[in-house]
Amino acid sequence: MKSLSFVLRFAKRYTASLVLAIISMVLLVGVQLLIPWIIRQLVSTLTDTAFSKESLDFITRLTLIAFGVYLARGALQFMRSYTAHIAGWGVVSDVRKYLYNHLQRLSLRFYEDKQTGQMMSRVVNDTDLFEQLIAHAVPDVVVNVLTFVAVSAVLFSMNWELTLLSMLPIPLVILSLRMYAKRVRPAFVFRQKELGELNAILNDNISGIREIKAFSREEDVLERVGENIDHYRFSLLSALRLMAIFHPTVEFTSSLGMLVVIFFGGRLAFQGSLPVADLVAFFLYLDLFYQPVRNLSTAWEAVQNSLAGADRVAELLLEEPEPLDVPGAIRLEEKARGEIRFEDVSFRFNEREAVLQDINLDIPAHSMVALVGPTGVGKSTMVSLIPRFRDVTGGRITLDGHDIRDIRLDNLRQQISIVLQDVFLFHGTVRENIVFGRPDASEAETIAAARAANAHEFITRLPDGYDTMIGERGVRLSGGQKQRLSIARAVLKDTPILILDEATSAVDTETELLIQQALDRLMVGRTTIIIAHRLSTIRNADKIVVLEDNGIAEMGTHEELLEVGGIYQRLVTVQQRLEPLVSPASQTALNG
């Protein structure tokens, strides 16, 4: 019931549309009750021995009344359908926005083991089912209950004994409803899960189509996708099998009422205790009587289907969001100076072994600090603590003397630009990607940022310049071009703190030179923290921090650490054996 209340909570905004839908349905019930009455009057007139011209006029009036009834029924059906759909799709849209907002607030840790397709399925496919609940199931329940009550009253007024006999199958219908609900909801939940798996694998394979083609894995991947498609088909058929059993069961049990009326009503009419016109009307009303019962079975199916989607949505909403701002969190009035300090900082994932332990590090404003060390020592984790992508589990980090947890989260991240080795660009134009961090930037500011990133020249050579569509993840650009666009994005954001994750790796020498020149301009006047793999790029750093065994093993300048003869020197020696410590291009860039 919590899942149902969650969905209905969003329906409050559309009360007016739902009220109009219900009013339309109530009037529709009244209009439909007139049709058997018209037939009853016609039969009564035709069986009247005193048939006359007045009878013909009465039949004409009945025809006109019937025309008006059918016309009104059509208008009311339109009104009921359209207003209910306004509410239904409105609720779906609001839930999707709410769910996406919740996804944005979840920590990065949540996404580390999640598939994009699964999350998309929760937002799109599972919420899509809510429309059935709001636009169909709930209004149908209301109108069918009203119809049931109204028709029952009419039937009792005609013949209460026959009415009670016709109600004998109702307990069987209720029993089948309960049994159906018990088994069908898990089937629908499983079906939605399989649909999420299918979406996930399709998203992965479409995103990785280059790799699939490069390794000639088309046949293997097709087989895997085919298996997921079949799994979804079988789960869907399992739910449909239950539906195929349920609906005929309801139809059969409701038809038992008709058999009762045929048996007992026929005898009453034969004995003259029940007029033939009343018997005909009773049959017509009885069909209206059992129609709500049959419709309730369909509505019950929609309810179970919708609640299956709601269960999966509710499961996602149980995930804890990012830490909220503490009461009284401050907003820095101006740009931060950029002085960062780690004080006895520790971090661990859940209850596992600590990734960082007792980190103490001063990073003066406008200085350049490099983090080096073997893979897995916590370099990326350490810089992720600064914008609070993760929170420390011990100690604290300060910015300009303020504990970063005491600064409003949005304000803290406004002080930081990040340029990663694995650049992410959105599907859109070059301009849209550059101004992503500052949408109000002018054209002149955008071009200036591109020039500073050594990107303007290649952008102007693109087919539509700054309005060129770059494709999903910038697929139409080279690695170096994507890297320079990310640098332009950081230049335009113009923050006092800059985090770089080896932004010059995996590019050719000429591109490395262009990128390094752009980074040199970007780092001026900023506090810069570099995660370094290529040691040639950090020899001019104010401080090099060597991490090992979850802590700081060495700290100093390039020359100081070489003199110590420790871990840093060994790393330098290894790289010297593989390639010159400073290639001519890199040296030019560093001196640049």
Task: List the domain boundaries for the chain.
Answer: 2-317, 335-415+499-509+525-592, 421-494
Q: Which residue has the higher pLDDT, 358 or 291?
A: 358
Percent of the chain with pLDDT over 70: 89
Residue with the larger pLDDT of the pair 122 and 87: 87
User: What tens digit of pLDDT does each residue of 162-215 get?
Assistant: 778 777 777 877 777 677 667 776 777 787 778 878 877 887 777 777 667 776
* Confidence grade of residue 586 (pLDDT, cut at 50, 70, 90): very low
pLDDT score of 581: 42
Mean pLDDT of 105-128: 77
Structure-model confidence comparison of residues 582 and 229, the more confident one: 229
Asked if pLDDT for residue 411 goes beyond 50, the answer is yes
Q: In this predicted structure, what is the pLDDT of residue 543?
A: 92
User: What is the pLDDT averaged over residues 481-499?
Assistant: 87
Q: Categorize the per-residue pLDDT at 582 as very low, low, confident or very high, splitting at 50, 70 and 90.
A: very low
**589 pLDDT tier (thresholds 50, 70, 90):** very low
Helix extents (H) in 107-159:
108-111, 116-121, 127-128, 130-131, 138-158
Would you place residue 504 in the very low, low, confident or very high pLDDT band (cuts 50, 70, 90)?
low
How many alpha carbons lie under 13 Å from residue 276 in its C-beta half-sphere?
A: 8
Higher per-residue pLDDT: 401 or 138: 401
Q: Residue 508: its pLDDT value, please?
A: 60
DSSP 106: B
SS (H, E, C) 394-442: EEEEEECCEEHHHECHHHHHCCEEEECCCCCCCCCEHHHHHHHHCCCCC
CATH level 2 (architecture), domain 335-415+499-509+525-592: 3-Layer(aba) Sandwich (3.40)
pLDDT at 518: 77
Residue 471 clears pLDDT 90, i.e. is over it: no
| Average pLDDT of span 338-349 | 91
Pairing state of beta strands 527-531 and 354-363?
A: unpaired
The structure tokens listed for 391 are 């929170």
For the chain, the average pLDDT equals 80
Question: Does position 1 have pLDDT exceeding 60, yes or no?
Answer: no
What is the pLDDT at residue 185?
A: 66
What's the CATH number of domain 421-494, 3.10.580.10, 3.90.1210.10, 3.40.640.10, 3.40.50.300?
3.40.50.300
How far out from the chain centre does Cα 48 lie?
A: 66
Q: How far apart are CA 504 and CA 368, in angstroms?
A: 16
Nearest to 587 by CA among 520, 530, 498, 522: 520
pLDDT of 307 > 70? The answer is yes
Instruction: Compare 447 and 335 and report the one with higher pLDDT.
Output: 447
Dig out the tokens for 516 from the structure: 């390094």
For residues 492, 496, 500, 503, the Cα torsion angle rounded to the nearest 10 degrees is: 30
CATH topology identical between 2-317 and 421-494: no
H or E element at residue 557: none
pLDDT of residue 25: 81
More confident residue, 5 or 228: 228
- For 470-529, give the DSSP string: --GGGTTS-HHHHHHHHHHHHHHH--SEEEEE-TTTTS-HHHHHHHHHHHHHHHTTSEEE
Lowest mean pLDDT across 97-101, 239-243, 369-373, 394-398: 239-243
Over residues 81-116, the pLDDT tens digits come to 888 888 888 888 888 888 888 888 887 777 776 777
Q: Work out the burial of residue 498: count CB atoms within 10 Å of its CB; fewer than 13 is exposed, 13-18 middle, 19 or more buried.
A: buried
Q: Which tens digit of pLDDT belongs to each residue from 511-527?
A: 667 777 777 887 888 89
- Provide the pLDDT for residue 390: 85
- Inter-residue contact 282 to 223 (CB < 8 Å): no
Angstrom distance (rounded) from CA 495 to CA 378: 24
For domain 2-317, the CATH superfamily is ABC transporter type 1, transmembrane domain (1.20.1560.10)
pLDDT at 440 over 60: yes
The better pLDDT of the pair 470, 592 is held by: 470
The yes-or-no verdict on residue 445 having pLDDT over 80 is yes
Sheet holding 497-501, edge to edge: 416-419, 497-501, 527-531, 368-372, 543-548, 551-556
Kindly tell me if the per-residue pLDDT of 222 is higher than 50. Answer: yes
Report yes or no: 349 and 226 within 8 Å, Cβ to Cβ.
Answer: no
